[in-house]
Amino acid sequence: MRHDYLVFIGRFEPLHNGHLAVLRHALVLADKVIVLIGSAGKPRSTRNPWNANEREVMIRAAAGADSERLLIQPLSDHLYNEAAWIGAVQRQVAAAIAADGGSGEARVGLIGRDKDASSYYLREFPQWELCNVQHCEVLSATEIREHLFSADEGGQLLIKANVPAPVAAMLEAFRRTPGYAQLAREFTFLRNYRKAWENAPYPPTFVTVDAVVVHSGHVLLVRRGAEPGKGLWALPGGFLDQNEMLIDACLRELREETRLKIPAPVLKGSLKGQRVFDHPDRSQRGRTITHAYHFEFVSGELPPVRGADDAAKAQWIPIVDALNLEEQFYDDHCHILQHFLGMS
């Protein structure tokens, strides 16, 4: 074997036969394989239907007897801080090796398939030898999810042909859960939403605004009352109207969704920062760029708020509690909050 450990990074949403082929190859080249499950800590969505624990079960079931040679760790996203993500990978690998009783002299490599621009991360760890594996012709995880939520009979047959048998059984069981039913509704909403823009001369880019209002150690959040992300926590915000400035759109959405009665001049006077958040995958609706504004009031009694418009609920939540809600946040709103609170 060329390596003591090979690192395999992926989202595995879900694990398919291509992933399994890479994993089998890694087990030939290394004594142990460190599998880092990306996008850990995300809420369920049509892009991330399964949490890290569920994906670990898929991987171990597909690996069979080789499962004991897998060291599996969750890996959170850092959409706006690539250095933090690289550091997290390095920490998780070091922790896995230490827990396994390995030494600092262990021979470590990185395995993956350099298929397109999304594989850029394979070149960010020059300290590890890269094992670039050949392409395996299977449906992508994205295509598998589309067939899963479309619920067409032919699609279900394609899924079974492209994922390991234990994973196919898990996906079939998942289809009978309430969580699947909600995601299927969300999938239909998003498909129809995108279809409405199919005849546009150019792919649309949407502009939104979000408000991060911090008051006396609390942050103002809303629960979404409609698809997509129904029931998830979010920052107050919405789409920019054609006839308004960005800051005015932010104040309008804040007022409409929370009924916060702090006057606009007072809010503008408490503006502490602003930033554009533009990760291409930040929104399930499509390419959406948001302008977030951070308002801060150091002390004082919390003003009354009430959910309105498309927000089912508005609530002041202690900062420490809000930061622990990562798996219940809509889109990248947790990343936005972490940025303004200096936690990213």
Q: What does the mean pLDDT of the chain come to? A: 94
For 3-174, the fitting CATH number among 1.10.150.120, 3.40.50.620, 3.90.1150.10, 3.40.190.10 is: 3.40.50.620
Cα dihedral 126/132/138/142 (nearest 10): 10
Span 11-36, pLDDT tens digits: 999 999 999 999 999 999 999 999 99
The pLDDT, as a whole number, for residue 117 is: 75
Q: Read off the pLDDT of each residue in 299-305 and give the average, rounded to a whole number.
A: 95
Share of the chain above pLDDT 90, in %: 88
Q: Specify the CATH architecture of the domain 206-340.
A: Alpha-Beta Complex (3.90)
- How wide is the angle at C-alpha 189 spanned by C-alphas 186 and 193, nearest 5°? 140
Query: Is the predicted pLDDT of residue 136 greater than 80, yes or no?
Result: no
Query: Is the predicted pLDDT of residue 54 greater than 80, yes or no?
Result: yes
All residues at 6 or more sequence positions from 140 whose CB lies less than 8 Å from its CB, including other chains:
16
The pLDDT, as a whole number, for residue 116 is: 75
Within this chain, domains 3-174 and 206-340 share the same CATH topology? no
The pLDDT, as a whole number, for residue 135 is: 66
The pLDDT, as a whole number, for residue 167 is: 98
> pLDDT grade, residue 344 (50/70/90)?
low
The pLDDT, as a whole number, for residue 137 is: 74
Of 20 and 137, which is predicted with more confidence? 20
All residues at 6 or more sequence positions from 322 whose CB lies less than 8 Å from its CB, including other chains:
219, 221, 233, 337
Span 124-135, pLDDT tens digits: 999 999 999 876
Q: How far apart are CA 47 and CA 111, in angstroms?
A: 24
Going from N- to C-terminal start, the domains of the chain cover: 3-174, 206-340
pTM of the model: 0.92
Please list the residues that pair with 36 across neighbouring strands: 9, 73
Q: How far apart are CA 122 and CA 104, in angstroms?
A: 21
